[in-house]
Structure 1
Amino acid sequence: MSMPDKAFPVSWDQFHRDARALAWRIAGMQHEWRAMVAITRGGLVPAAIICRELGIRLIETVCIASYHDYTEQGKLQILKGVGASLLENEGEGVLIVDDLTDTGKTAAMVREMMPRAHFATVYAKPLGRPMVDTFITEVSQDTWIYFPWDMGFSYQEPISKGHRG
């Protein structure tokens, strides 16, 4: 697996600010949401922040796994769908939340379940952007976002150690 060209590390503070900014943007739509659907696992963290900010009490999850191997690169499988009541009226009044839309494949699958739901992500890449209605920050397709829940603390060499002149 080749490493992406660009790295975009996101701290807990930055992610919290970005998720709250997404909540502000959604709140400005003057919409009553009947439920929220978090796309697991990445969507769980922004969903917790956004449902608090918007006062949404009914939270559901949709679980989609991507299996990467040499025969079926990136085949998606639904591990858990959403309840029938949220599928009524094609998902109208439902807010779907994820941390990132990358290729748009997961988003397309969820959109198919609830085509009239509102889809919001904190971050978006160009391939996935057409699948979402609202997002905060766009990054290039070759950028790898390092989310705070995927990182730990480690020692960093001082800049001066790497620059011998």
Structure 2
Amino acid sequence: MVERNSEPSVQDRAGRPFPVSWDQFHRDCRALTWRLNEVGPFHAVIAITRGGLVPAAIVARELGLRVIDTVCVASYDHDKQGDLKVLKGISEQTAKLGGGTGKGLLIVDDLVDTGKTGRLVRELLPDAHFATVYAKPQGRPLVDTYITEVSQDTWIFFPWDTALSFQPPIRDGAA
């Protein structure tokens, strides 16, 4: 198992790779929206940047929501997790839509991993509905709705983080 506080190489992270194509990610976001449609209605979508931007856009489109805001939290430096930093909170206008506690607001992220970011956002908006496309066991209890659970030691390769390249056959040593 690779800990994100160390600096794993791509080969280390590939121990349990979970590559996600654009098509698969879009299907998973639509599946998430089907579940959220039964829970709403929502006044606004709040994307946790940066990973939540793409799923929030898809969910907002599918739910017909026009108000999209962001909460900008930095915790990853492409391959390691560090201290959390809120770079931008939600706007005052969006906060008012949620009555100051987040009621009727939908928070969207691509993944809940250890739950550190989720806990921070929950503190900001305790009554908001928190949805992610993917969930790992440590963070899953913080999420109200998700689509796919993966093991804690899985590294998800999102389509915006990858490029098409040749992959050697498994028998030749590929993970």
State if a TM-score over 0.5 links the two structures.
Answer: yes
- Work out the CA distance in 1 between the residues paired with 2:25 and 2:36: 16
SS in 2 for 1:8: strand
Is 1:77 aligned to 2:76, yes or no? no
What is the identity, as a one-letter code, of the residue corresponding to 1:61? T
What is the CA distance between 1:154 and its match in structure 2? Answer: 1.0
Of all paired residues, the percent bearing the same amino acid is: 62
For each residue in 1:9-39, what CA deviation from the matched residue of structure 2 results, as whole angstroms up to 9, or x when unmatched?
Answer: 001010000000000000022x221111000
- Work out the CA distance in 1 between the residues paired with 2:30 and 2:167: 30
TM-score, normalised with respect to structure 2: 0.84
- Work out the CA distance in 2 between the residues paired with 1:67 and 1:60: 21
The unaligned stretches of length 5 or more in structure 2 are 1-6
What is the CA distance between 1:51 and its match in structure 2? Answer: 0.4
In structure 2, the residue matched to 1:123 is 134
Is 1:97 aligned to 2:105, yes or no? no
In structure 1, the residue matched to 2:4 is none
Q: How many residues align?
A: 157
For each residue in 1:88-139, what CA deviation from the matched residue of structure 2 results, as whole angstroms up to 9, or x when unmatched?
Answer: 3401000000000001000110110100000000000001001110000000
In structure 2, the residue matched to 1:39 is 48
Over the aligned positions, Cα root-mean-square deviation in angstroms equals: 1.7
- Work out the CA distance in 2 between the residues paired with 1:143 and 1:95: 26
Quick one: which of 8, 25, 32 aligns to 2:35? 25
In structure 2, the residue matched to 1:114 is 125
What is the CA distance between 1:158 and its match in structure 2? Answer: 4.8
Distance verdict in 2 for CA 1:13–1:67, change over 3 Å: closer
- Work out the CA distance in 2 between the residues paired with 1:9 and 1:67: 18
Distance verdict in 2 for CA 1:157–1:41, change over 3 Å: same
- Work out the CA distance in 1 between the residues paired with 2:160 and 2:139: 22
What is the identity, as a one-letter code, of the residue corresponding to 2:131? A
TM-score, normalised with respect to structure 1: 0.89
Runs of 4+ with deviation above 4 angstroms: none
SS in 2 for 1:78: strand
- Work out the CA distance in 2 between the residues paired with 1:66 and 1:157: 32
What is the identity, as a one-letter code, of the residue corresponding to 1:56? L
Q: How does 1:42-81 map onto structure 2 within 5 Å?
A: 42-66=51-75, 74-81=82-89
What is the identity, as a one-letter code, of the residue corresponding to 1:46? P
